[in-house]
Structure 1
């Protein structure tokens, strides 16, 4: 328990103000740095646990224009048939932005390389075989980053959009860090307002 308190208290001393560097913020790198021949090359993260963050690092106007014009829906509870339309406001995007990088998705895993690969599915051209982008129904439960970006732009992330996406991470390996990963992920979500972590309560 003392280790957890130490990590949380150190985070509280590191405010996420614009222009400030911090964990998962000061090591933002373009995704393309780790992609070759449609494969993700991050051998140092294989079977390593931690928390990761996806960012939009491309042209901000390109992204906000797409956000403002997209039809982004989430499915309501299973017992309900209606779709919930999501409106991405300028204030929301501003609160998600650090150093001109917009926070898209935050997650945790015991195997960072494998989890990041599932978000991207680089070998799959079309992930929407069983559902439509405006249906509110996700084509799978593991590609949240790709699903969010493709709903906004209405095209495959592999058609040039991946050039505008970056990633950062902090390693917290082993089961002894399971609780640390849990709270660190939630801390970042509360601070960075990632656009594609949203969901409807069941």
Structure 2
């Protein structure tokens, strides 16, 4: 099996999402292409020193459950100097639908229950089981920028997050390619509690 180049065609979210006059975010990506199965990645775009500083000063410390439920403190500090920092890699049978589930574009903000949501997400409680990985990108994004207000978070999302995808129709190839790409790129938000 030949491995795909997930970082070959990274598109800033500002190219595929627009803000309507009421402030709602609307995805404008061609749904015809994205209703196909494949792999995808959300990226932080390190386009200049100012943007690098935003990421470096974000809330990059997180606690997840390790072996036998022991808390593991992690600082998302690897790949900081790359032009594109991988944040989350996944596979799906419908790229358009999965992108919407991750972004939850018109759910601003989670901040009012941020602490409870993050606690549950990373500690495998009932809410974690309900949400699972369908919104893992959004959860990680909210954690990184939890000290920012909604308008600033929207700006950061649109201008500094990129998206890439590769169409892969074969289920078995998607399964193993996702594992390979996660191991290769080490995306921050793919780290989860151990079972």
Global fold match (TM > 0.5):
yes
**Does the 8 Å CA contact 1:24/1:170 hold for their aligned counterparts?**
yes
Equivalences for residues 1-150 of structure 1 within 5 A: 8=1, 10-11=2-3, 23-36=5-18, 37=20, 38-42=25-29, 43-58=31-46, 59-67=51-59, 70-75=60-65, 80=69, 83-89=71-77, 92-94=78-80, 97=82, 100-128=83-111, 130-132=113-115, 135-138=118-121, 140-141=131-132, 142-150=134-142
CA contact under 8 A between 2:118 and 2:139: conserved in structure 1?
no
Tell whether 2:141 aligns with 1:159: no
Tell me if 1:188 matches 2:175. Answer: no
Cα distance in 2 between the residues matched to 1:64 and 1:88: 9
Q: Which runs of 4 or more aligned residues in structure 1 lie more than 4 Å from their structure 2 counterparts after TM superposition?
A: 128-131
| Residues 1:188 and 1:34: Cα distance change in structure 2 (over 3 Å) | same
Cα distance between partner residues in 2 of 1:75 and 1:196: 14
Structure 1's unaligned 5+ residue stretches are: 1-7, 12-21
Contact 1:75 / 1:136 at 8 angstroms: preserved in 2? no
CA contact (8 A) 2:118 2:143 kept: no
* Greater helix share, structure number: 2
List runs of 5+ in structure 2 lacking aligned partners.
Answer: 122-126
Residue 168 of structure 1 is matched in structure 2 by 164
CA distance in 2, matches of 1:103, 1:135: 20
> CA 1:40/1:48 → structure 2, altered by over 3 Å: closer, same or farther?
same
Give, in whole Å, the separation in 1 of the partners of 2:75 and 2:114.
Answer: 21
